[in-house]
Structure formats: C-alpha cells, structure tokens
C-alpha cells in the first residue's frame, strides 16, 4: 500500500483480520506483523492508530462486544411474536460464529480485556454475557405471556443456551453448519420450557 493513501474503514479491516488470525492460529498468533499482513496493510498503520497491541485489542473487544450486546438488546422486545425457539435462534445467530469464537478466545487468553470492555460498555456486556442477560429477560417476558411454562427457570435456561453456544462456536465456526447446529440446540433446550404451540 503506497504511503499517504487513506484506507476507508481501516479499523474494521484490522478487526476482521484479527478474527481470521484468532480462528486460524489462536490468540497466540496475534502480532502486529501477522495482523497487518492478514489485513493487507503496512505494519506501521496499526501503530499509527493505536498506542500499542493492548490498546488495539481493547478497541477490538469493545467494538465486537458492543455489536453482540446491540443485537441481543432487541430480543426481549420480540416476546409474543414468532416462536420462542425462532426468536432465540435469531438472536444467537445474529453475530457470525467466527466473531463469537474469536472474541471468546481472546477474552479467555487476555482476561484483563474484560475490565476494559466493562469500563466502556458497563457490566454484563463482555462477550456473551449480554446475550445471556437478554435471553433471560426475553424468557421472563414470554413466561408472563404464557408462552413459556411457569415452572421454567429463565435464568438457568439462558445460561445453558449461551454456554452451549459458546462451546459450539469454539469447536465449529464454519457457516452455515454452525448456525444449523445452534438452531437444533435451541430447539432441544427449549422443548420442555416453551408451551407446545409456541415451541416449533
């Protein structure tokens, strides 16, 4: 890339490259040279926009955690529409599996990032925590509408869903296979919780 040429959406270009590197090589493969090579830009561009690698990774984690939380935030408002399984599946697959996997692996490898994300976005927003909170609120809303059985435990069900999705995306990020597996998982986990007419 010639010097002085502006690159539109450089941050997102680098963030997407980060995900590809993590999915392929793990968080240990994250170096400035590896990221810029993956993104197809000069190495110096990374440090022209970020103080250091920690600063860059914090920006990446905040950006992706915000995307995930924003997508999940709409879930409680869907109570009473479609089916319970369809709404949950839509929320859990609204973020690409590779993005979920990359963020989960990065946060596990660099636990200090969790505090930096929470400092910007607030509690319960680091990674899949936002999805868990939204899923629990959604299931409680459906419970009030009689579409989820009174005996169901929304919080535990939300935790089970998110924990299982976490495992799935860490083991398989290929689309559409990962999305199909998530759909089957949601159907299985909500089979007993949703009232029959609102499950399928």
Each residue's pLDDT tens digit, 31-69: 999 999 999 999 888 999 899 999 999 999 999 999 998
Among 72, 83, 70, 79, smallest CA distance to 162 is for: 72
Provide the token pair at 47. Answer: 């440090």
Provide the token pair at 50. Answer: 């970020």
Each residue's pLDDT tens digit, 117-166: 999 988 877 668 889 999 999 999 999 999 999 999 999 999 999 999 88
Which CATH architecture fits 1-49? Orthogonal Bundle (1.10)
pTM: 0.85
The pLDDT assigned to 7 comes to 54
Distance CA 63, CA 59 (A): 6
Look up residue 2 and give its DSSP letter.
-
Each residue's pLDDT tens digit, 77-116: 999 999 999 999 999 888 888 899 899 999 989 999 989 9
Look up residue 82 and give its DSSP letter.
S
Each residue's pLDDT tens digit, 168-193: 888 877 778 888 888 999 999 898 88
The pLDDT assigned to 43 comes to 86
The pLDDT assigned to 179 comes to 85
């Amino acid at each position: 890339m010639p010097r002085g040429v502006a690159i539109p959406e450089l941050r997102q270009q680098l963030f997407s490259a980060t995900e590809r590197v993590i999915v392929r090589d793990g968080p240990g493969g994250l170096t400035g040279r590896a990221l810029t090579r993956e993104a197809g830009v000069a190495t110096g561009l990374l440090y022209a926009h970020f103080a250091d690698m920690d600063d860059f990774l914090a920006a990446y984690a905040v950006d992706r955690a915000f995307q995930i939380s924003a997508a999940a935030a709409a879930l409680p408002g869907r109570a009473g529409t479609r089916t319970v399984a369809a709404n949950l599946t839509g929320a859990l697959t609204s973020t690409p599996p590779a993005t979920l996997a990359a963020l989960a692996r990065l946060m596990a490898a660099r636990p200090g990032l969790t505090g930096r994300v929470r400092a910007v976005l607030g509690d319960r927003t680091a990674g899949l925590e936002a999805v868990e909170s939204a899923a629990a609120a959604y299931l409680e809303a459906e419970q009030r509408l009689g579409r989820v059985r009174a005996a169901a435990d929304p919080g535990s069900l939300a935790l089970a869903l998110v924990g299982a999705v976490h495992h799935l995306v860490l083991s398989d990020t290929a689309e559409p296979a990962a999305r199909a597996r998530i759909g089957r998982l949601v159907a299985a986990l909500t089979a007993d919780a949703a009232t029959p007419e609102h499950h399928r």
